[in-house]
Amino acid sequence: MALIQGLLHATFVVQELQRSRQFYEGVLGLALNTTRPEMSFSGVWYDVGPHQQIHLMQLPSPEFGLQRPEHGGRDRHVALAVSDLSLLVQKLEGAGIAYTLSKSGRRALFCRDPDGNALEFMKG
């Protein structure tokens, strides 16, 4: 049996929590998980599956000024399953958020959140 049994959460450092919340809640449609305890810095948690979460932490970026690849698939990223990739494209375009299609030919796309964190989306 494998020692690692699953991915429980992915954490992203963000500079302006309200701006990030507009993306994660307004564009991606995630709902806050209000059961997580308060920490010594601002942040929020989102459920993205039965046992997985995204955690946004408002902290100074240790990578300020770092140049990221234009295509998120060439950068570290988290892949998320979506129910409707076409609807996601409509939401991204409606919000003016740039995205790129997977370079591998898979039906997937990549975008970045307001802080440059790369996200991959695939039909679940």
**How confident is the prediction along the chain (124 residues), in pLDDT tens digits per residue?**
889 989 999 999 999 999 999 999 999 999 999 998 888 999 999 999 889 999 999 999 888 778 888 889 889 999 999 999 999 999 999 999 999 999 888 899 999 999 999 999 998 7
The reply to whether CATH 1.10.150.120 applies to domain 9-61+68-123 is: no
Q: CA distances (Å), 75 to each of 38, 46, 62, in order?
A: 30, 23, 16
pLDDT for 29 equals 96
Residue 59's closest CA among 4, 114, 20, 16? Answer: 16
DSSP single-letter state for residue 69: P
At a CB cut-off of 8 Å and minimum separation 6, what does 34 contact? none
pLDDT for 20 equals 98
pLDDT for 16 equals 96
Q: With beta carbons less than 8 A apart as the criterion, state whether 118 and 77 touch.
A: yes
Please give the Cα distance from 28 to 61 (Å, whole number).
Answer: 23
Outline where the chain has alpha helix (H).
Answer: 17-21, 85-94
Task: Give pTM, 2 decimals.
Answer: 0.91
pLDDT for 31 equals 93
